[in-house]
């Protein structure tokens, strides 16, 4: 079995405050694929990074009550976020911007202090995605005063999709995998055994022998978790996924959700939604026919929508294979 595993070429880097990994099936194409990916990552960063004052998104957030002309890329990113809101009944909603900041996530995560003084946590519904007026025709977006857009959930995943497609079209053969902090998109012809991905709650976790591993041949996979981007204020534990109903970090039964879908952005819409929806996510995921792996607060794993049982999963040896890991 080991011998039949196809060798792949891997380039690692950093993007959006997390890890970046590009894998190609044809080693000579690695540099070209990586530079196509880097180009997309930089473009998205300039369009949608809420921590950059010079990003288009910061300009939109700072210009309420006016139709602001934006780039085609930001139109795409905001459209994806609004699509996420529609598909999830508002569980995933880009108007969480102020709530995310009020909870303490107001800088690149590396710069967010892990402990701090108590903050006042006020229950308040977020403004809601219907407040965002996007006109793709005139390429404008208009926000009411007091509404901040945060594209943290969908932008990274859409970047993986766009970057995998751009890399494939650049190299014109074989297969490509792009992982941004564990939000993974693949394009082209996969290795014969598929793209093997270790299910994990933390994208920083090392690839380990005997870990549950899943194989995908197309589309994407994404993980949302409350276990990694978390901090405390006045002894109260907080994290980065906001329940739109309360404007506070969600407190449902799942601490980690991993979903497979036709694209990475759809997988990510579903994984973030699963954390917010809690118990109701089971029915929603099954209705959406998306394979999912949910980890509850005790660490128990729940597999649904056709996600294979561990006995059916592929187990990967560390020596033979180091592809990707989940976030």
Binding site for ligand AMP (CB under 6 A): 92-94, 96, 100, 150, 152-153, 224, 240-242, 244, 268, 271-272, 276
User: Is the CB of 25 or the CB of 250 nearer to Mg ion?
Assistant: 250
Q: Nearest to residue 204, comparing CAs of 84, 86, 324, 57?
A: 324
Can you tell me whether residue 249 is helix, strand or coil? strand
Q: Which listed option, ligand AMP, Mg ion, none, makes contact with residue 267 (CB within 5 to 8 Å by class)?
A: none
Q: Which is nearer to Mg ion, 32 or 87 (CB)?
A: 87
Contact 79, 50 (CB under 8 A): no
Select the residue interacting with Mg ion from 93, 148, 150, 183 (CB under 5 A).
Answer: 183
Q: What, of ligand AMP, Mg ion, none, does residue 104 touch, CB below 5 to 8 Å by kind?
A: none
Give the shortest CB-287-to-ligand AMP separation in angstroms.
19
Tokens for 284, please give them: 């929603």
Asked if residues 247 and 254 have their Cβ atoms less than 8 Å apart, the reply is no
Residue 93 binds Mg ion, judged by CB under 5 A: no
Of 263 and 271, nearer to ligand AMP (C-beta) is 271
**Which tokens is 17 given?**
């405050």
Q: What's the CA gap between 124 and 145, in Å, rounded?
A: 16
CA 297, 299, 305, 309: dihedral to nearest 10 degrees? -170
Min separation Cβ 305 and ligand AMP, Å:
18
Question: Toward ligand AMP, which CB reaches closer, 29 or 148?
Answer: 148
Cα gap 199→275, rounded to integer Å: 16
Q: In the chain, where does DSSP find H-type helix? A: 30-48, 56-61, 72-87, 97-102, 155-171, 264-277, 281-288
Residue 159 binds which entry of ligand AMP, Mg ion, none, with Cβ cut-offs from 5 to 8 Å by kind?
none
Closer residue to ligand AMP, CB minimum distance, 165 or 180: 180
The binding site for Mg ion (CB under 5 A) comprises 183, 222, 268
């Amino acid at each position: 079995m080991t011998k039949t595993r196809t060798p792949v070429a891997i380039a690692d880097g950093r993007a959006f405050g997390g890890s970046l990994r590009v894998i190609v099936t044809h080693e000579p194409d690695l540099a070209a694929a990586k530079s196509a990916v880097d180009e997309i990552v930089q473009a998205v960063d300039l369009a949608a990074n809420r921590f950059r004052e010079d990003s288009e998104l910061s300009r939109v957030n700072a210009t309420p009550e006016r139709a602001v002309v934006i780039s085609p890329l930001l139109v795409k990113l905001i459209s994806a976020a609004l699509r996420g809101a529609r598909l999830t009944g508002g569980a995933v909603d880009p108007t969480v911007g102020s709530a995310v900041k009020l909870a303490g996530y107001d800088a690149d995560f590396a710069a967010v202090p892990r402990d701090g003084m108590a903050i006042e946590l006020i229950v308040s519904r977020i403004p809601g995605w219907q407040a965002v007026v996007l006109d793709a025709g005139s390429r404008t977006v208009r926000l009411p005063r007091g509404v901040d857009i945060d594209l943290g959930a969908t932008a990274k995943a859409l970047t993986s999709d766009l970057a995998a497609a751009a890399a494939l079209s650049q190299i014109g053969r074989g297969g490509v995998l792009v992982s941004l902090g564990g939000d993974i998109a693949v394009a082209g012809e996969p290795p014969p055994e598929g793209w093997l991905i270790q299910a994990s709650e933390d994208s920083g976790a090392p690839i380990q022998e005997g870990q549950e591993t899943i194989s995908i041949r197309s589309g994407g996979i994404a993980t949302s978790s409350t276990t990694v981007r978390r901090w405390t204020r006045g002894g109260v534990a907080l994290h980065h996924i906001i329940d739109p109903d309360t404007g506070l970090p969600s407190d449902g039964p799942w601490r980690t959700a991993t979903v497979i879908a036709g694209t990475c952005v759809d997988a990510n819409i579903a994984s973030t939604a699963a954390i917010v929806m809690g118990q109701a996510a089971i029915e929603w995921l099954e209705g959406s026919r998306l394979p999912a792996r949910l980890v509850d607060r005790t660490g128990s794993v729940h597999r649904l929508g056709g996600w294979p049982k561990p006995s059916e999963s592929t187990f990967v040896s560390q020596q033979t294979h180091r592809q990707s890991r989940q976030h």
